[in-house]
Every structure is written in C-alpha cells, then in structure tokens.
Chains A and B, each alone.
With several copies, the nearest count.
Chain A
Amino acid sequence: MTTTTSTPRTSVCIALCGSGGAGVMTAGNLLLEAAAQAGWYGLMVRSSGPQIRGGEAAALMRIATHPIDCMDDRFDAIVAVDWQNIHRFADEVPLDRSSLIVGDPEQGAPPEVFVKSGARAVELPMKKIAKGIPGSWPNMIALGFASQLLGIPADKVKAVVARSLKKGAEQLPASVAAIEAGRAAAAGEGAAFTLAAPPAARAKRWLITGNQAAGFGAIRGGVRFVAAYPITPATELLEYMAPALPQVGGVLVQAEDELASVNMIVGASYGGVPALTATAGPGLALMTEALGLAVAAEVPIVVVDVMRGGPSTGIPAKSEQSDVSIALWGLHGDAPRLVIAPNSIADCLTATQWAVHLAEALQAPAIVLSDQFFGQARAVTDRPADSGLVGERLTAPAGSEGYKRYAVTDSGVSPMAIPGTPGLAYTADGLEHSERGIPSSGAADHRVQLAKRERKLVAHDYGAQWADVEGEGGIAVVTFGSCTGAAREAIARARADGVNARLVSMRLLAPARPKLLAAALDGVDRVLVVEQNHGGQFLRYLRAEFELPRTVRSFRHPGPLPIRPEEVHRQILALEEESPR
C-alpha cells in the first residue's frame, strides 16, 4: 500500500527518533496534541532501547482523519534528531521509496538499514538551527518540521507548546521560533504528506492511553478498591488510579507481591466493595490460585492483564497476545470465569467497565486482556460514552430466614450477604461446600455447585457486546484485542479490491458463545484467525469451543512487531483466491 499521490492524505505515519534525552517523546506528544486540537485523530506509541534511561527512543505516530487503532504498514517519514542506535528501530519503522528520511547532517549519515528502503533523504540541521535560537532545542525543530509536513496548523502547535510550558513561559518565544524554523524547512516538501481536513462536526475528543482508559473504566464501573504490585506494562494503570481513586472515595494499596494483591482484592470484594488489580503475565501466573478461590467462593474481582512478550519475564516492554491460554484455562479444577478483551484503546474503558459490571452481577472473577500496545499507546479518540453499566451485586436482605450463601438458583447466582448485615453471617469458602457454605466432600454437593458456577456464566445474556461483527461476505476475519485495528483496515482494503470480508472481533472470550459466533459466521465458508502470538492460542480456543467452517487459516506471529493491516490484507486476498466463488 504505497501512496505516491499528493492529494491530501487520510492518514500519515511519522517516527520521531533520537537518543534518550533528545526529547523526541515530548515532541511526539506535542504533535499528537496539536493534531487533536486541530480535529484529527491519532495514535502515538513509545519505543525505547533496553537501557533503563538514556537509551535510544522513538515516538511512533500516526495521524488520521478518522479513528484509528493501529499503526500503518509503512512510515511516511522518520525524523531523527540524532542516529545513535536508531537503526535498532528499523523493524518498527518500515520505510519505502515514497518515504522521507529526515536527519541532521551533523549527526552523520542515516543508517544503511533505512537508506536501503529507497526512501529519500532530507537534511535538516536541527542542532545548528537550534543553536541559532538561544534557549531552543533540536526536538522543537523536529516538531516544527513534522507539523508542517502533515499540515497541522502552526497556531495549534504553538498553543499546545505554550500550555505545556506552563511555568517556564519565558522559554516560549525560543520554542516558537524553533517550531517556525522547522516548519520553514519543511515547506519545500510540498503537500505530499499533507493530511486531508479533519471532520468538521465533532464530539468531545479525548487523549488517553489504554491503561488510563481501563483505569477510568473501572472507576465508572464502580471499582473502589485496588491492590496491586508494579509490573511493566500495567504500572501506568495503577499510577493513573493512585490519585484518581481517592477522589471518588476509593482506596489503592501497593501490596508486597501479587499473591497479596489478588488476595487483598478478594478480601475487599468479600466485604462488598468492587475491587480490581492490574498486572502482566508473570503476575497473572502468581494470581491463579486466588482466582480459583474467587471462583469457588463466588467473590467478584477484576484482574486487568496488560499482556507483554512471554514466556517468563520475556519481553516486558513489548506487546504480544500470548496470555490467552492462561486467561482461559490457567486455573486448576473446573473453574469457570469471565475473560473480556477490549479491542481498541477507547474500548479499554468500555470493556473494563463491562467487566466490572459482569463480575459483580455474576459473582465471578473477570480477567480483562489488554496488552502493552493498548496500555501504553496514547490515542485521540471520541469521548467513550458512559454505558451506565455499574457493578450491582445481588445481595441478600437482612434477616432472610435460613440464609444459604450458595443457594442453588435458576440463574446460578445466589444472593450474597455483605458483612455487617445482621442475621446472615456465613463463611465464604474455597473448599467445596453445601449451599450453606459448609465444607462438603459429597458428590452431590460438588456436582450441584460445579453446575451452578458454570450455569451462572453460561446462562447470562451478554447482549451485542460479546463481539463487534462488521461487514458481509463468505470470508470472515476472526480476531480479538489489538489485532482488531489491523484486521478492520485490511478488510477495508480488500473491499477496495472488490473482495468482501466480515470482521468478527470477539470481546467476550469466556464464557464462549457458540451460538452467537455461529450466527455471526452464517454464510461464511472461510475463516482467517488473526492473533499476535507464536503458538496460535486463540485458534486453539476457537477450535476447542466452537464449530468452525471447514476452511480455517491462521495468521499469526509473536511480538514485538505488531500485526500490520497489509499482512492481513494479503491473507484475505490469498483466501479469496483459494476457493474462488
């Protein structure tokens, strides 16, 4: 999908790079904000080297006229304040002949790995220009250049810079001059990279990361207790909640480890307060014993797993969808639970809010499968409407006669006594128990309770949110989570090629909804399963839980590189070829 035309573009990708401290992340954030102010949508992904501080850094940006949930296949430009180790980002910043390589000649020639793409090199003496403007920095030249290239109005850029400087207002004139110098240098590039005008009418826009979105979604859903242990890439979710939660009357506590954090939230929720923790793979692994307790004792909790490269410590700062299996099947015993996967940064909010609602309604643990890409990417999105879904638990009224905590009901949900309620005191138990909650090793109690815990999840009406189903055609792309953006774009490109395909992006992974998927796949004879991991965990899940059409193709690769729209597009075309209609 190379674009050489100079008609206004609906989406442009640009990478701002430089060694740590060169301020490329700042420049990227300002560019994103300016674009947002001007009415565009956009996305910024931060990438950096293995060093704890001061290594190479890249702000990978995409600005577009419409909401976007993934990077494009190629970058229109890379703007490097310097080239130190920037070659390490080559995989993440694919260029081609119509791309630009913008470098400072003082910092040496661009790395061969970029040059060999055939992209055109542009010299921008950022350091020298910045030196000529006392108090300015090369990253502001880069910002000016990039903003001009994309056609983002100067006043918007200056406004966000002014706002960002707050106290240091005396620096503003130098920054403004630097931005102008950068813009002047880019003027010669013409309009090849200029974005089409943003949509005219527009609702409220937000600038938010998936981690913030999940945190705020939890608050909207009613979470008022969080216990957690820091772990990349979930930490920012907690760091968002630490000051936010007390403002709405909630409590956040840093636990000594993940065993403590998950048991703390089970304790809090037993006390009637909707509770959440956030973690990544290694932490989730440590939490499975207590997740089983939440299943057996029927205590609602929400665990947000911000997935990263695995196995083991793996690749902590990179995205991968490889915790599907542990989320779905990682508990000992027959332990039904909810697994929910947001499929956009904005959906991190909505899906987490839904997860809180479902966990509370069904008195079961819910795992939210976010990932590093969602969690740490910052996006311009439409304000996610409040679904109004809050955690509401079926509680037992004071003084019910002969209260049975684990009473067998049609729905499978039993009224829960909240400590403090007179006359209902009971002991919650992870041992198998009778309806009263008394430990029992009898076959009858075991069968009844196992069936009840399964039934309450399976019998629930989850509504249309179970998946996003879009489009028509005999081919369906079935995916979940952060592959959804690439799949959606791939389908649009296929449509442009005259090939129709459907998108099924599953939000509710567990309990599986075989009938709903069957309906969504009605008329489909070929399925393409897309996921970002090595082993095909989502594919295995689909095979295990659903009836699928005979032709099922898997497209997958592990992180750290994202699944790109063009990869999926090619797969759709190949599938179309394979059995021509």
Chain B
Amino acid sequence: MNDMAVALQPAAYKSDYKPIWCPGCGDYSVLSAFTKAFSMVGRKPEEIVVVSGIGCSSRLPAYLSSYGFHGVHGRALAAATGLKLARPDLTVVASGGDGDGYSIGGNHFLHACRRNVDLTYVVMDNHVYGMTKGQPSPTTEPDWQSKLSPTGTGLRVFHPLVVALAAGANFVARAFSGDPNGVADILAEAIRHPGFSFVEILSPCVTFRPEQRNWKQAVHPAPVGATDDPAKAARRILSDDGFNVGILYRGNRPVYRPPVGKAKKQPADLEKEFEV
C-alpha cells in the first residue's frame, strides 16, 4: 500500500481477509466492483472510508484495504453522514443490504437523500435477510414463503429508487452484481457525482434465494439515458420491469455544507458572552 503506482490497481484495494460469504454469493462481485471503482476514481485506500451496518453485505468493508467502519444494524448512513461532515476531505461510501437500508435503516435513507451530503450509498439488494438466514425484507416479493412468512408477507414491495427520488437523492442508479465492470463504472460515477448518490445493486443470495441465479438472464440496460427530472425518472422506474440497469437519474441539487464560521476563533474568544 506504500507503493502508489500499485495502489491505483484494483487489486491494491483488496484486503487479505477471506470473506465469510457463501460460495457464489453476489456480494463477491460487488467487492470486486468496489476495488475497480476505487481504482478508477483514483483516491488512495487511506483516503476512502467504507461504512456499513450489519448483514452479509455489510461485511464488505473489512475485505477492502481502505478504512472501514462496521457499525450497528441500519445506521450506516448516519455514521457516514457524521464522518463526511466532520472529515469532508475523505471519500465516504456507505454500503449494506436491503434489510439494513430499507427496513431498520429507512429513516436515515429518507433523510440522507434529503440532506444531500456528498456521499455514495450502495445497497446490495437480494430481497432477503441473508445474515439471519432467510426472512423477508422490504423488497421481498409478497408471495415469497419463509419460516417467518409461511404464507408470504402479502406486502407490496418497497421501491427504493422511487423513494430515493421522492426524498431528494441526487443520483440514482440500478446495477447488477453479475456484471462487475458495469457496477464499477456506475459506482465510479456515483462517487464522482456531487451530493447524495444512491446505487441499488441487485446481488443474488444464492443460499436463501437460489432462484435469483436467474437474474443474470433478466437484467438489461436501461433503454434511455439518465434524466434530470425526478418525476420523469420515477415514472420510468415505476413502469419498468425492475431489471433495467444503468444510471437513471442525475440531479444537480446543491450539496449540503454545514454552516462554518467566518474567522476561526479560539475558545477563549467565546467567553465574552458570559461575562457580567
């Protein structure tokens, strides 16, 4: 990692810890796409922090050679927001699963979209809770049966991209882990795009949703390029088949920057207001 020429190759962004993922899990390809995207973006590993919650997908940070933060379930975006606001010099990527991001983490998702801090948020969506061994997530189909939902949930699926647009995300894309180069391209663009960029990656859980192996056949590039009209993007997404892959929305909302003082004072300078 001390050799900068090497550091810019994708391999330099991988750590030497062996993932605990099941053989064939879609997340392996997402990991490889991360390393490619980081290489493309050209920041050094130590200038990048990947922040996650809890879940199979949330194990990703330790498999990278960048800094990582493996926090608690559902709070990756909150931790990432704090980190980025405190350390704007770093490239901060939050990542995790559909349960982590859309179920327990839903409120932070809404407010991160709205706040528009310069972050990238990557969800590895497998429509299931993998880590806890197969319960429905918000993106699970209503008729999928599991021990916890023996007759299916009966619930409409959550539309992460549409909600992101409604809440104000500044960049919205869908990707498929089976195409790591495609994911890497999108990720690199997401990282470069100012403000809150959201990338939903369809990433199969071969253990609890083996039928997701068929996603390879189902995905296809979006027929039209990204729009900058959120309503149009939302309408397109609502009427697509869910396997439309590509950048779907590129916004230009101003990035959130917290208020900063004009002249940098010392703490002692603040004492005056208390003096009798």
Contact = CB atoms under 8 A, between A and B. Distances in A.
Q: In the complex, are there CB atoms of A and B closer than 8 Å?
A: yes
B21 A52 contact: yes
Interface string A243-279: 1101111011111111111011111111111010000
A230 B108 contact: no
Given A232-B132, A242-B149, A293-B71, A423 B78 contact: no
Interface string B140-164: 0000000111100100000000000
Interface stretch (B177-185, B195-203, B213-221, B253-261): B253-261
Contact of A427 (B68, B129, B265): B68
Contacts of A264: 78-79, 81-82, 85
A247 B83 contact: no
Contacts of B22: 51-54
B47 interface: yes
A430 B270 contact: no
Interface stretch (B54-62, B168-176, B229-237, B244-252): B54-62
B71 A266 contact: yes
Interface stretch (A220-228, A302-310, A442-450): A220-228
Contacts of A282: 72-73
B204 interface: no
Interface stretch (B29-37, B86-94, B186-194): B86-94
Given A253-B85, A256-B111, A268-B86, A207 B274 contact: yes
A426 to B, nearest CB: 7
Contact of A257 (B59, B69, B104, B266): B104
Contacts of B274: 206-208, 212, 216, 383
Interface in A19-66: 33, 36-37, 50-55
Interface string B91-112: 0000000000001101110110
B26 interface: no
Contact of B276 (A53, A205, A220, A425): A205
Given A238-B148, A289-B72, A290-B75, A420 B270 contact: no
Contacts of B23: 54
Chain B's interface size range is: 35 or more
Contact of B267 (A219, A260, A430): A219
B199 to A, nearest CB: 20
B66 interface: yes
Contacts of A422: 1-2, 44, 46
A225 B86 contact: yes
B129 A225 contact: no
Chain A's interface size range is: 35 or more
B150 to A, nearest CB: 5
B238 to A, nearest CB: 22
B135 A256 contact: no
A227 B108 CA distance: 14
A426 B63 CA distance: 10
Contact of A263 (B54, B78, B153): B78
Interface centre among B1, B45, B47, B71, by most chain A C-beta atoms within 10 angstroms, is B71
Contact of A419 (B70, B74, B87, B107): B87
A230 B45 contact: no
A313 B131 CA distance: 13
A304 B113 CA distance: 29
A267 B81 CA distance: 7
A251 B133 CA distance: 22
A420 B20 contact: no
A216 B22 CA distance: 33
A160 B111 CA distance: 45
B275 A205 contact: yes
B263 to A, nearest CB: 8
Given A254-B136, A256-B111, A267-B82, A423 B72 contact: no
A372 B137 CA distance: 24
Contacts of A265: 82
A273 B261 contact: no
A249 B86 CA distance: 10
B268 interface: yes
A34 to B, nearest CB: 10
Contact of A430 (B62, B72, B108, B111): B72
Given A254-B149, A425-B1, A425-B68, A271 B87 contact: yes
A231 B132 contact: yes
Given A225-B86, A431-B70, A251 B258 contact: yes
Given A54-B23, A380-B276, A313 B72 contact: yes
Contacts of B150: 242-243
Nearest to A55: B20
B108 A256 contact: yes
A271 B133 CA distance: 33
Given A256-B106, A268-B85, A273-B86, A216 B270 contact: yes
A555 interface: no
Contacts of A267: 51, 69, 71, 78-84, 86
B96 to A, nearest CB: 13
B264 A248 contact: yes
Given A52-B21, A256-B108, A420 B82 contact: no
B264 A423 contact: no
A163 to B, nearest CB: 11
B49 interface: yes
Contact of B62 (A33, A219, A383, A427): A427
A249 B65 CA distance: 31
B147 A239 contact: yes
Contacts of B227: none
Contacts of A50: 20
B138 to A, nearest CB: 7
Contacts of A579: none
Contacts of B69: 267, 270, 297, 427-428
A4 interface: no
Contacts of A292: 72
A293 B65 CA distance: 22
Contacts of A549: none
A421 interface: yes
Given A254-B135, A425-B1, A428-B68, A52 B56 contact: yes
Given A53-B207, A430-B72, A247 B270 contact: yes
B241 interface: no
Given A256-B107, A270-B83, A430-B70, A423 B1 contact: yes
A425 B103 contact: no
Nearest to B69: A428
B71 A426 contact: no
Nearest to B110: A256
Given A242-B147, A425-B45, A271 B83 contact: yes
A519 to B, nearest CB: 35
B79 A263 contact: yes
B72 A290 contact: yes
A249 B261 contact: yes
A57 B16 CA distance: 24
Interface of A: 33, 36-37, 50-55, 204-208, 212, 216, 219-220, 224-225, 227, 229-232, 235, 238-239, 242-244, 246-249, 251-261, 263-273, 275, 282, 289-290, 292-293, 297, 312-313, 380, 383, 386, 399, 417, 419-431, 437-439
Top 4 A-B pairs, shortest CB-CB distance: A264-B82, A427-B68, A267-B82, A267-B79
12 contacts: A33-B276, A51-B21, A220-B267, A238-B148, A260-B78, A264-B81, A267-B78, A269-B86, A271-B82, A421-B46, A427-B68, A431-B70
Given A52-B21, A256-B107, 14 more contacts: A254-B135, A254-B136, A256-B138, A259-B74, A260-B81, A264-B79, A270-B83, A271-B86, A275-B82, A292-B72, A297-B69, A312-B72, A421-B46, A439-B62
